Amino acid sequence: MMEDRDYLRKRHRGPSVEGPSAVVILVMINVAALVLRLLFTSNPTPPAGGISVAALQLGEWWTVITHLFTHADWVHLGFNMVGLLLAGRRVLADAGLRHFIYIYLISGWIAAAATLLLHPGATMYGASGCVCGVFGAYAALHPERSVTSRLGVWLPRLRARNLFYALLGTTIMLEVFATLTESSLNLPMIHGVGHSAHAAGLLAGWLYARHLSPSLTNLYHREEFFPQGLRRRHREAESFVSSGSVVQRRVKDSLPEPLCNDSAPVPMTNEEFLRQSVDPVLDKLYATGMSSLTEAERCILREAATRFSGKSPE
């Protein structure tokens, strides 16, 4: 039980961030990328490193990464980095490094895909989609937090949720307007901006964080989300099947002897029994503790300890 309590304390403590902040590192990478481009290229428009359908057809696969860190000028870079600093630190602290990086990259890639799908001849570059995704995640994690509280008491309170909806609606309307007037008007501030990328990034980050957790209370229980967690889960299952010592120790040390159902059990292989019966009980045990288990769930653990320990039932 001591091991279980230590494990639960680690899970409820939430993600911890050690060393340099990932937000600061991303800002430094973006600044360095612009400095190097200005030093060693002639500053073409669009800048080298952008992603486009033509570039991908030519085999320039590296643009899938480089376009996320390519900016036209210091103004373009400045707006994106300020937005990243404002929203990124809170998302990083709440979601942890792994999910923060997922949010940043996935939002940027979805933003680029949306832009190239709607505008096949365009060249996409900049971290706008990534930053919009980080803000979308912030709005999903803290929908009721005021984003204007530090700007002055005289300003009306604007919740993150409402600002997210306003930005999403505005970017979609601007994209529609720019598409309809592309051949008749020439407005650089309208037609020269990737509104579809902003909308797609916002929505991607918001959906990711909504799936990750609807509230911070449950956020730290979603360690199984995405590749690292899935691989760890598979390793734990293999270790469990091979020895059964973890469940056996927990059962012997902490479980009372419940009265189990005497009805004939449904025949299942060890793998089916582990996946269908034991895994849900272990998930509940890790999330809410031993006291939350029902008598039937305790019986499942006792049966698992007996089945995988190599001993016959007494």
User: pLDDT of the chain along its 314 residues, tens only?
Assistant: 434 434 334 444 444 444 458 899 999 999 999 998 888 877 676 778 888 898 888 888 999 999 999 888 899 899 999 999 988 988 998 888 888 999 999 999 999 999 999 888 888 888 999 999 999 999 998 888 887 776 666 667 788 888 899 999 999 998 888 888 877 777 766 777 888 899 999 999 999 988 775 544 444 444 445 455 555 555 555 555 555 454 455 444 444 444 455 455 556 777 777 777 888 887 777 667 677 778 888 888 888 777 776 544 44
Strand ranges (DSSP E) for 97-236? 123-124
What residues make up the domain containing 297? 227-309
- Predicted TM-score (pTM) above 0.75: no
**Please, is 101 exposed, middle or buried when counting C-beta atoms within 10 Å of its C-beta (0-12, 13-18, 19+)?**
middle
- Write down the pLDDT at residue 231: 52
- Write down the pLDDT at residue 277: 81
Q: Tell me which amino acid residue 169 is.
A: G
Integer Cα distance of 45 and 7 in angstroms? 53
- Write down the pLDDT at residue 150: 66
Size of the chain, expressed as the number of residues it contains: 314
Instruction: Please confirm whether the linkage preceding 44 is cis (ω < 30° from 0).
Output: no
- Whether residues 251 and 137 share a domain: the answer is no
Integer Cα distance of 147 and 136 in angstroms? 13
- Write down the pLDDT at residue 158: 81
Do the Cβ atoms of 164 and 136 come closer than 8 Å? yes
Do the Cβ atoms of 113 and 181 come closer than 8 Å? no
- Whether residues 215 and 233 share a domain: the answer is no
- Whether residues 241 and 170 share a domain: the answer is no
Which of 172, 190, 219 is where one domain is finished? 219
- Whether residues 143 and 181 share a domain: the answer is yes
Integer Cα distance of 254 and 249 in angstroms? 8
Q: How far does CA 66 lie from the centroid of its chain?
A: 21
Please report where in the chains the tokens 């360690």 appear, as a residue: 223
Which of 174, 200, 219 is where one domain is finished? 219
Q: How many CB atoms lie within 10 A of CB 55?
A: 20
Residue 4 covered by a domain: no
Rg (alpha carbons) of the chain, rounded to whole number? 26
